[in-house]
Structure 1
Amino acid sequence: MKKPVDYVLKKFISAGSLDVTYADGSTTHYQGTTPGPHAAMRLTTRTAERNLLLNPGLGFGEAYMDGTIQPQSCTLYDLLHVLMLNTMSAGHIGDSLAAAVRYLRRKKIQFNPESRSRKNVAHHYDLGESLYDLFLDRDRQYSCAYFRTGNETLDEAQEAKKHHIAAKLLLDRPDLSVLDIGCGWGGMALTLAKDYGATVTGVTLSTEQLNTARKRAEAAGLSHRVRFELMDYRNVRTRYDRVVSVGMFEHVGIAHYQTFFEKVRDCLTDDGVALIHSIGRNDGPGTTNPWIDKYIFPGGYSPCLSETFAAIEPTGLWVTDCEILRLHYAKTIAIWRERFAKNRDKAKALYDERFCRMFEFYLAAAELSFIVQGHMNFQLQLTRSQTAVPLTRDYIAKAETRPE
């Protein structure tokens, strides 16, 4: 398999450089025509060579997990940086064909009825609190933080994210009712209740997160203001003054986008305000990397804005504000990756070496997707009425500078 892999890599590496040591012990240097980072890797088996050739999107990550692809004199992050950078500029015929097939099948891949959605959520979010405590902030915000200056700690940036979203929800009077779709461990709901006097209902499909969220509400003395339910968003029947969803839209599935926004519309009061926070992509409709789909977020997909707006338009909702957060998630994941590395032995004690390799591969690839592959976050403010929010955005900044 060395010869065909060598042929592909000669075409593939157009930026930076890559040294590859093959299973037979020989090493080849691949030099791009434009400046870029350098990395090196070793392929220890012919199987790794074959999988890298036939389905690199899946095979590379699996080979790293198995230890048959090894970074040499560099980190995994360095190696992925070279490869992901060149994926954007050169591509790979095998991977391109696989991506084309995935694109044709993406509605089926992302078909997420209630039963499948619950299974997909459990795959990642029910791994156990001990794992997430190794790298998340103290509030367990498992989504993009908000860095006003870039010098904030993770805790500070996650607090800023919650208040930035709260400002866009226009919580201008007490006792507003709020629906939190995909409430996670309850941090957003508890903040809205504690700091803004809202009455919040959080819904989730994760039993682990549900149990923790309920315990947190009770411990904070907020059970009278916050309740959490194990419920699919499609089964919500009550109308609310506000609807918020942070990091959940990525799990909806493209075939269900219009259903999601119709539910947001139906759950809002006539003068209600919704805020949807999601990972997105800047380069148009695409597909989820097959390794990410198999091992990390089955059924997940980061949408582009054109797909999202196309699903909103038939619902009659107004998009009253749209903000793009470009590198905030890269900074967030960089801190997660550093924290996970420091606590790797603890993660290995919880699971095993292969799991640790899987998780560090996921974090490194996720961070780089925001740096070199056009991923970003978007926040959409939605209303039923065009007069539900002020004429200008000034109220957002004013709300964020409120006295503590």
Structure 2
Amino acid sequence: MLDAAIPALLRRFIGPLVQRGELAIALPGGEKLVFGDGTAPRAHIRFTDRTAVVAMLRDPDLQFGELFMDQRLRVEEGTVYDVLELLLRDDRDVPPNAFVRMLDAWRMRLRPVLQHNLPGKSRANVAHHYDLDDRLYELFLDAGRQYSCAYFERGDEDLETAQRAKQRHIAAKLLVEPHHRVLDIGCGWGGMARYLAGVAGAAHVTGITLSQEQLAHARRLGEDTAFADRLDYRLEDYRHTPGRFERIVSVGMFEHVGVGFYDTFFQRCRQLLTDDGVMLLHFIGNSDVPDFNNPWIEKYIFPGGHIPSLSECTPAIERSGLVVTDIEVLRLHYARTLRLWRERFMARRAEAAALYDERFCRMWEFYLSMSEAAFRFQEIAIFQIQLAVRQENVPLTRDYVAVREKALRLREAALEVAAEVPETA
């Protein structure tokens, strides 16, 4: 009876989603279903066994990625990104059915447990993703190892140019001066800290991370700079950082804090900032109502992570005593970033397979593809929130951002010229 019902269930659930393009689905019994209007993009998938189809119908948010990883769902025409585009680009117009609403409600109730990110759990969560073989990230990131959304001033820049523009944009908003001490919370491989010290001219930059691999790389590159004495990288939780700083920056780390710790995070930032302090928080955000972390991402990629809505984090900011002085929403910039990462990863996929295995490569392809599709077709964007201890710490209008970006661009050019001039005896 179930075998006979499967085609009808697929038509019921997938039919409303795929109105444009073409998605063909081959079932284990030989039946083929076709959805859409026959235009591009076109993709063809095949289920290898009946239980795979049942799993997909029961929990598509988790099972689609798992089935693709295990090759029980095979993409035989197009790419997995094409399949996701067909399924996601119009899904906001399709109301969820009763079963999906029940599953979503259950996952919302699980959020406090999954995101209970005490220091020990936070370190374990970070190690799960960021302490992978360091050579993996060389395959698709830019030379400066920026593992966060790039900033496309025109839209057609290469990855290196767009990542440098991101650093410049953030540094301009931070209003860094030569006497400033800067804290970089979640410094990754240290690229933002090096920019703030080497180009923006900060007196000292402290970068903290919970990843052993990132720390080693950041220290290695920092030691090779002419301003190594102004850099300090530490394996440290933000809750344990001592001292005071005129500026704080955090890029791509807030997604790992957990909803239950937002008050702790912003209160600690307030304690760390001096009275003339300014902070720039760059993070993946949800432009819709609060939601749960995608279960496949939670299980395989970023355990303990969360994409917050502004309504979840701004109350904690208000309670901390910090003042919101600017909010910018970067729409589609991360979709473009992820497209470039995916293309670079797929071009060097054999090297990733040599480091891990084919299943890992399918997992990584799905991760990059699903993330790009989410930023392109769903309510996911980048939020940049500028915060200050006092509202007069930031200029009256936003004109200063362009002025400072121009000055930073000139400094970058001067440093590049200086690096090309050979030393004289």
Find the counterpart in structure 2 of residue 371 from structure 1. Answer: 376
SS of residue matched to 1:387: helix
Find the counterpart in structure 1 of residue 68 from structure 2. Answer: 64
Counterpart of 2:45 (choices 41, 44, 49) is 41
Instruction: Find out whether 1:22 has 2:27 as its counterpart.
Output: yes
What per-residue deviation string (whole Å, max 9, x for no partner) do you get for residues 85-137 of structure 1? 35433335544322211111112111100010000000000102200000000
Instruction: Find out whether 1:246 has 2:246 as its counterpart.
Output: no
Find the counterpart in structure 1 of residue 415 from structure 2. Answer: none
The percent of aligned pairs where both chains have the same amino acid is 50
| Aligned-residue offset at 1:7 | 3.0
For residues 162 and 349 of structure 2, the distance between their equivalents in structure 1, rounded to whole angstroms, comes to 24
For residues 332 and 27 of structure 1, the distance between their equivalents in structure 2, rounded to whole angstroms, comes to 35
Find the counterpart in structure 2 of residue 204 from structure 1. Answer: 209
Counterpart of 1:341 (choices 327, 330, 346) is 346
Find the counterpart in structure 2 of residue 106 from structure 1. Answer: 111
Contact kept, 8 Å, 2:27 with 2:47, in 1: the verdict is: yes
What per-residue deviation string (whole Å, max 9, x for no partner) do you get for residues 314-368 of structure 1? 1121100110000100000000000001000000000000000000000000000
Instruction: Find out whether 1:262 has 2:267 as its counterpart.
Output: yes
| Aligned-residue offset at 1:36 | 7.9
| Aligned-residue offset at 1:20 | 1.2
For residues 81 and 345 of structure 1, the distance between their equivalents in structure 2, rounded to whole angstroms, comes to 25
| Aligned-residue offset at 1:374 | 1.2
Question: In the superposition, relative to structure 1, how do residues 248 and 203 fare at CA in structure 2: closer, same or farther (>3 Å)?
Answer: same
State TM-score, norm by structure 1. 0.96
Instruction: Find out whether 1:89 has 2:74 as its counterpart.
Output: no
SS of residue matched to 2:53: helix
Contact kept, 8 Å, 1:210 with 1:229, in 2: the verdict is: yes
Counterpart of 2:152 (choices 147, 150, 153) is 147
Structure 1, unaligned stretches of length 5 or more? none
Q: What are the residue-to-residue correspondences of 1:131-142 with 2, within 5 Å?
A: 131-142=136-147
235-244 vs 17-26, which deviates more? Answer: 17-26
Counterpart of 2:403 (choices 390, 393, 398) is 398
**CA-atom RMSD in angstroms:** 1.6
Find the counterpart in structure 2 of residue 277 from structure 1. Answer: 282
Find the counterpart in structure 2 of residue 11 from structure 1. Answer: 12
Question: In the superposition, relative to structure 1, how do residues 35 and 98 fare at CA in structure 2: closer, same or farther (>3 Å)?
Answer: farther
Structure 2, unaligned stretches of length 5 or more? 412-425
Instruction: Find out whether 1:221 has 2:226 as its counterpart.
Output: yes
Counterpart of 1:190 (choices 183, 190, 194) is 194
Contact kept, 8 Å, 1:55 with 1:94, in 2: the verdict is: no
Contact kept, 8 Å, 2:172 with 2:404, in 1: the verdict is: yes
What per-residue deviation string (whole Å, max 9, x for no partner) do you get for residues 31-68 of structure 1? 47x98854321111112112102111111110000001
Contact kept, 8 Å, 1:9 with 1:30, in 2: the verdict is: no
Find the counterpart in structure 2 of residue 175 from structure 1. Answer: 179
For residues 4 and 303 of structure 1, the distance between their equivalents in structure 2, rounded to whole angstroms, comes to 38
What per-residue deviation string (whole Å, max 9, x for no partner) do you get for residues 134-168 of structure 1? 00000000000000001211001000000100000
For residues 393 and 205 of structure 2, the distance between their equivalents in structure 1, rounded to whole angstroms, comes to 20
One-letter identity of the residue aligned with 2:188: G
Contact kept, 8 Å, 2:172 with 2:401, in 1: the verdict is: yes
Instruction: Find out whether 1:353 has 2:358 as its counterpart.
Output: yes
Question: In the superposition, relative to structure 1, how do residues 121 and 237 fare at CA in structure 2: closer, same or farther (>3 Å)?
Answer: same
| Aligned-residue offset at 1:25 | 1.4
One-letter identity of the residue aligned with 2:122: S
For residues 132 and 120 of structure 2, the distance between their equivalents in structure 1, rounded to whole angstroms, comes to 18
One-letter identity of the residue aligned with 1:291: W
SS of residue matched to 1:324: strand
Contact kept, 8 Å, 1:2 with 1:22, in 2: the verdict is: no
State TM-score, norm by structure 2. 0.91
Question: In the superposition, relative to structure 1, how do residues 3 and 103 fare at CA in structure 2: closer, same or farther (>3 Å)?
Answer: farther
| Aligned-residue offset at 1:4 | 4.1
SS of residue matched to 2:278: strand
Find the counterpart in structure 1 of residue 417 from structure 2. Answer: none
178-187 vs 15-24, which deviates more? Answer: 15-24
| Aligned-residue offset at 1:239 | 1.1
SS of residue matched to 1:72: strand
What per-residue deviation string (whole Å, max 9, x for no partner) do you get for residues 197-250 of structure 1? 211001100000001111111011332100011011111121100000000000
